[in-house]
């Protein structure tokens, strides 16, 4: 019953986030949704209870102006918050379930990792319990067993789930910034490479001052290599690829610094780790690294190796 009610709350938030609605409009829309049960039409009292729970759980107020209901505080929630993600997910699921005729025309990408260990890791994060994993690196022939970790956060990137952990007892990585030294050794683990996971009864203290979002803000993807210093990166982008980056920025720091005939220069302020390097490579010949020179040289060397591979073929 709790899961059904949560879906109803999320459905109602999604509806009112689009426009104010009268009770009759809400009731009619609910009867057309996949959540509706003919034996349980939406009653005024039920709707009142939903409003209270939505305020309690999400901090969104549903206010009546005499004719329609308005959703307050929704615009203050960031687009990357779990609340927004849940609301959007239930909205898509509702439309998917309701449109039976379109099921074969709505295609999803499979996420190969996460479904096995993700919920267990979230439970361990919530209870602040250490975990032990057996982990198979792509670069190693055999898995490393019995790694003790303190899970700090999980993050999705390129259809894979990753876990940021504190590794107790391990030395700090080289070039760790001063502000992160007190956190100890932080490492990233991909969930699809975990072979075994055990939640221990041993508690750990999550640092109250630590904000994972702030840590990842200056990175692209999940790599947090401190050997790549925070710096300005300039990409010269040609042709229609300019419009692509305008509508889907590579990184939150993206700024279109110069516009010319046939190209634009985009500036970024980030750590140019391997994740960013690969993303730029994927854009092909429409993108040229202008700054820094070190990244430009690395890009040129990689392109030369690719050319040699094709020439051998």
CATH of the domain at 65: 1.10.10
pLDDT for the residue 96? 60
Residue 182 belongs to some domain of the structure: yes
CB 160 within 8 A of CB 211: no
Q: Are residues 260 and 179 in the same domain?
A: no
User: Is the predicted pLDDT of residue 284 greater than 50, yes or no?
Assistant: yes
Model's pTM, two decimal places? 0.69
Q: Is the pLDDT of residue 227 over 80?
A: no
Selected residue with higher pLDDT from 149 and 17: 149
256 or 117, which is more confident? 256
Residue 262 has pLDDT above 80, yes or no: yes
d(CA 36, CA 43): 12
Same domain flag for 85 and 126: no
pLDDT, mean over the chain:
85
Q: For residue 125, is it within any domain?
A: yes
The answer to the question of residue 112 being in a domain is no
Residue 146 in domain:
yes
Q: From the CA atom positions of the chain, what is the Rg in Å?
A: 24
**pLDDT tens digits, one per residue of 86-97:** 666 656 666 666
pLDDT digit string, tens, across residues 168-200: 988 887 777 777 788 888 999 999 899 999 999
Q: Worst-scoring range by mean pLDDT, 2-11, 78-87, 224-233?
A: 78-87
Please name the helix (run of DSSP H) or strand (run of DSSP E) that holds residue 119, with its range, or none.
Answer: helix 118-127
Residue 10's domain comprises 2-105
pLDDT value for 1: 43
pLDDT value at residue 118: 84
pLDDT value, residue 40:
78
The whole-angstrom separation of Cα 180 and Cα 190 is: 22
pLDDT at residue 146, rounded to an integer: 94
Residues 250 and 301 grouped into a single domain? yes
Long-range contacts at 107-114 (CB < 8 A, ≥ 24 apart): 109/159, 110/159, 111/156, 111/159, 111/160, 111/161, 112/159, 112/160, 112/192, 113/159, 113/160, 113/161, 113/190, 113/191, 113/192, 114/156, 114/160, 114/161, 114/191, 114/192
Residue 155, domain member (yes or no) = yes
Among residues 183, 216, 249, the one where a domain terminates is 216
pLDDT at 137: 86
pLDDT of residue 5: 74
Q: Is residue 113 part of a domain?
A: no
Q: How many domains, in total, are found in the chain?
A: 3
What pLDDT score does 109 carry?
Answer: 66
203 and 261 belong to one structural domain: no
258 or 157, higher pLDDT: 258
b/e for 174-210, b at 16 or more Cβ within 10 A? eebeeeeeeebebeebbbbbbeebeeeeeebeeeeeb
What percentage of the chain carries pLDDT values higher than 70? 85
> Which residue among 105, 137, 172 closes a domain?
105
> Do 99 and 14 fall within a single domain?
yes
Q: What confidence score (pLDDT) does residue 224 get?
A: 82
Residue 126 lies in a domain: yes
Average pLDDT over residues 73-92: 63
143 and 182 part of one domain: yes
Q: Can you tell me the mean pLDDT for 249-260? A: 94
The pLDDT of residue 80 is above 70 = no
pLDDT band at 57 (very low <50, low <70, confident <90, very high): confident
Q: What is the pLDDT of residues 19-43, one digit of tens each?
A: 999 999 999 988 888 777 777 788 9
pLDDT, one tens digit per residue, over 101-110 is: 566 666 666 6
- Is 95 found in the same domain as 127? no
How many other C-beta atoms lie within 10 A of the C-beta of residue 107? 5
Boundary of a domain, candidates 105, 138, 157? 105
Clarify whether residues 20 and 101 are in a common domain.
yes
Is there a domain that residue 225 lies in? Answer: no
> Quick one: 95 and 166 in the same domain?
no
The string of DSSP letters for 147-183 reads: EEEEEEEEEEETTEEEEEEE-TTPPPPTT--HHHHTT
- The answer on pLDDT for 208 being more than 90 is no
């Amino acid at each position: 019953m709790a899961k059904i009610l949560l879906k109803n709350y999320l459905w109602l938030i999604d509806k009112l986030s689009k426009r104010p609605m009268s009770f009759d409009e809400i009731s009619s829309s609910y009867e057309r949704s996949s959540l509706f049960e003919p034996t349980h039409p939406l009653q005024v009292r039920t709707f009142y209870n939903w409003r209270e729970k939505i305020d309690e759980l999400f901090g969104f107020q549903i206010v009546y102006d005499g004719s329609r209901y308005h959703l307050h505080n929704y615009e203050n929630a960031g687009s990357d918050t779990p609340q927004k993600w849940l609301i959007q997910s239930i909205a898509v699921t509702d439309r998917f379930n309701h449109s039976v005729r379109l099921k074969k025309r709505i295609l999803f990408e499979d996420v190969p990792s996460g479904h096995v260990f993700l919920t267990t890791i979230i439970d361990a994060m919530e209870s602040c319990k250490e975990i032990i994993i057996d982990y198979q690196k792509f670069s190693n022939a055999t898995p490393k067993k019995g790694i003790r970790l303190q899970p700090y956060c999980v993050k999705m990137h390129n259809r894979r789930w990753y876990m940021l952990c504190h590794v107790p007892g391990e030395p700090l990585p080289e070039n760790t910034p001063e502000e992160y030294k007190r956190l100890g050794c932080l490492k990233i683990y991909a969930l699809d490479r975990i072979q075994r996971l055990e939640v221990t009864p041993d508690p750990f203290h999550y640092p109250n001052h630590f904000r994972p979002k702030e840590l990842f803000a200056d990175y692209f993807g999940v790599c947090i290599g401190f050997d790549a210093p925070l710096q300005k990166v300039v990409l010269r982008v040609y042709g229609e690829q300019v419009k692509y980056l305008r509508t889907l920025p590579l990184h939150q720091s993206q700024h279109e610094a110069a516009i010319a005939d046939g190209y634009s220069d985009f500036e970024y302020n980030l750590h140019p780790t391997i994740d960013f390097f690969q993303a730029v490579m994927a854009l092909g010949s429409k993108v040229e690294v202008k700054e820094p020179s070190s990244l430009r040289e690395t890009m040129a060397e990689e392109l030369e190796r690719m050319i040699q591979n094709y020439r051998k073929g």
